[in-house]
Chains A and B, each alone.
Chain A
Amino acid sequence: MTGPATVRPTTIDPEAAARAVARLAAATRAALADLVLTMADDEFVSGFTDSEWTGIAPVLEEDVAMSSISQDELGHARALYELLAAIADDGRDADAIAYDRSPAQYRHAALLDRARGDWADTIARRFLYELADEARLASIGDGFAPLAELVAKLRREERYHRMHAVAWLGRLAEGGTEARRRLEAALAALGSDAASVFAPLAGEAELLDAGILSRSLASAEAAWRADLTTILVPLGLALPPQESGAPAVPRIARIGASRMRHGEAFDWLHSQFTMVRRTDPEAIW
């Protein structure tokens, strides 16, 4: 049985990517694949979850905004999956990586492993994620040019997402009893998962050595907490709890264990976003 036809990447130059990959040591390449997979899955799952607002957002402008933001995130995921396909070079194209995995094989952060929830849940989740994503993107060094170049472009676009999330956080926080109660409950429910974007990668030392990361994920998390503080404290909102002591699960996996646990909400989302692919695996858009 032949699989679906592989599709030429849209957003990367596969030959330039292959040349850059060839210069990497094997361990660095494996670590880079892990990093790009986590970044891509975060954008992908976040984009699909938030696209659930299309048609039913509280006001028309937000319907358009959430659709636009989701389209951005899915586009970012596409570019990252295409890059990952070049790094892994295992015959899978971006669509195969994006759609042909079982739910357990996705590596998005626990923060994003949530049902869409109500508007306050969405704003709380988006706020924590957008600021975390910004801190992570700011941690990408120039050690692997195709990723560094893409990230420079992503950061220009993500500014609008941050602006949107921060504006809505403030509006809900100061928008009366009901809005504030829901926002506080949403932030509390995300709780300790808030920092899961920064779950350790086993290959982090290689990535730092190669300059692919310019600072550790722990440093990125510290920068994120400082950023959160400047926004949450003036609004009288609580900061997410800091992880105390050793992680509950030993770090035997290459990618932090918190990225491996998925709940029912993700099983449902997965059934939705793989539907077309399952119906006709050979379809080309």
Chain B
Amino acid sequence: MTSVLEAGPAVTREAIIDVLGEVPDPEIPNVSVVELGMIGKVEIESHGRGIRVELLPTFVGCPAIEVIREAIAHRLEAFGVRVRVDVSFATPWSSDRISPAGREKLRGSGFAPPAWVASGRPLPMLEMPLAGSSTTSALDLDGPVSCPFCGSKRTSLQSAFGPTLCRMVWHCAECRQPFEAFKPV
């Protein structure tokens, strides 16, 4: 295909999504920003002379937002047109936006995908286990989180806070491994 403008590829929505599919999450590089559901509106402006992409941050305080925005802008330069990447909360990111492929890739990287935040249900849990507590967690979620290593559902939440804002720490009673799961938000 040839562009009417420069040597870049034709500016179509599909082509843009394909390119964005090559932008990795900086911390889990085998998952793309598209698979994580971080791409909002994609607009082609001025008859193909401009591209505007909405970036939906997973967490407001995520320190990777700027890195991701620059990576997206850099990749889109291949089209040879004007590029704008705007952070937006008009559609608040939810962990339910992670695609089925994205969920599988998270699991492959050792992260349990988030429990589904069923629409219309109150978000997550009323009771949280505390370190050293013997009480089992009572999570108001759709189902238990499966261990990404052995698949067991004999798992328990250890802490709702993990090494990054979007992750929490679980433990698998079957293979006796701690593991991380994405926070349902």
A contact set with B: CB distance below 8 Å: 10-13, 16, 59-62, 64-65, 67-69, 71-76, 78-79, 145, 149-150, 152-154, 156-157, 159-160, 163-164, 167-168, 171
- From B61, B93, B185, A71 is in contact (CB under 8 Å) with B61
Whether the pair A12, B92 counts as a contact (CB closer than 8 A) is: no
Bound together, the chains give a CA A10 to CA B70 distance in angstroms of 11
Report if B87 contacts A (CB, 8 A). Answer: yes
In the complex, what residues of B have CB within 8 A of residue A72's CB?
Answer: 59-61, 165
Known: A78-B61, A150-B89, A152-B89. A160 touches B161 (CB 8 A): yes
CB-defined interface of B123-143 with A at 8 Å, one 1/0 digit per residue? Answer: 111111111110000000000
Bound together, the chains give a CA A200 to CA B172 distance in angstroms of 49
Interface band, chain B: 35 or more
Report if B183 contacts A (CB, 8 A). Answer: yes
- From B124, B127, B129, A159 is in contact (CB under 8 Å) with B124
Whether the pair B185, A156 counts as a contact (CB closer than 8 A) is: yes
Whether the pair B61, A75 counts as a contact (CB closer than 8 A) is: yes
B contact set with A: CB distance below 8 Å: 57, 59-63, 65-66, 69, 86-90, 92-94, 123-133, 158-165, 169, 183, 185
Bound together, the chains give a CA A152 to CA B92 distance in angstroms of 7
- From B90, B123, B125, B169, A61 is in contact (CB under 8 Å) with B169
- From A61, A156, A163, B158 is in contact (CB under 8 Å) with A61
Bound together, the chains give a CA A139 to CA B35 distance in angstroms of 34
Bound together, the chains give a CA A276 to CA B131 distance in angstroms of 34
Query: Top 10 closest A-B pairs, CB basis?
Result: A75-B61, A61-B131, A65-B161, A68-B161, A149-B89, A13-B86, A153-B92, A61-B159, A167-B128, A153-B89
Bound together, the chains give a CA A74 to CA B125 distance in angstroms of 24
Bound together, the chains give a CA A171 to CA B165 distance in angstroms of 24
Known: A62-B131, A163-B125. A156 touches B94 (CB 8 A): yes
User: Which of B59, B65, B89, B125 lies at the interface centre, i.e. has the most chain A CB atoms within 10 A of its CB?
Assistant: B89
In the complex, what residues of A have CB within 8 A of residue B158's CB?
Answer: 61
In the complex, what residues of A have CB within 8 A of residue B162's CB?
Answer: 64, 68
Report the minimal beta-carbon distance from A225 to chain B, rounded to whole angstroms: 20
Whether the pair A154, B60 counts as a contact (CB closer than 8 A) is: yes
Chain A's interface: helix, strand, loop or mixed, by majority?
helix
Whether the pair A157, B185 counts as a contact (CB closer than 8 A) is: yes
In the complex, what residues of A have CB within 8 A of residue B163's CB?
Answer: 64
User: Which of A16, A62, A78, A153 lies at the interface centre, i.e. has the most chain B CB atoms within 10 A of its CB?
Assistant: A153
Report the minimal beta-carbon distance from A54 to chain B, rounded to whole angstroms: 12
Whether the pair A79, B60 counts as a contact (CB closer than 8 A) is: yes
Bound together, the chains give a CA A69 to CA B128 distance in angstroms of 15
In the complex, what residues of A have CB within 8 A of residue B125's CB?
Answer: 163
Bound together, the chains give a CA A73 to CA B61 distance in angstroms of 7
Whether the pair B86, A11 counts as a contact (CB closer than 8 A) is: no
Report the minimal beta-carbon distance from B125 to chain A, rounded to whole angstroms: 6
In the complex, what residues of B have CB within 8 A of residue A10's CB?
Answer: 65-66, 69, 87
Report the minimal beta-carbon distance from B136 to chain A, rounded to whole angstroms: 14
Known: A68-B165, A149-B90, A152-B92. A168 touches B130 (CB 8 A): yes
Whether the pair B92, A75 counts as a contact (CB closer than 8 A) is: no
In the complex, what residues of B have CB within 8 A of residue A145's CB?
Answer: 90
Whether the pair A159, B123 counts as a contact (CB closer than 8 A) is: yes
Closest to B59 in A: A157
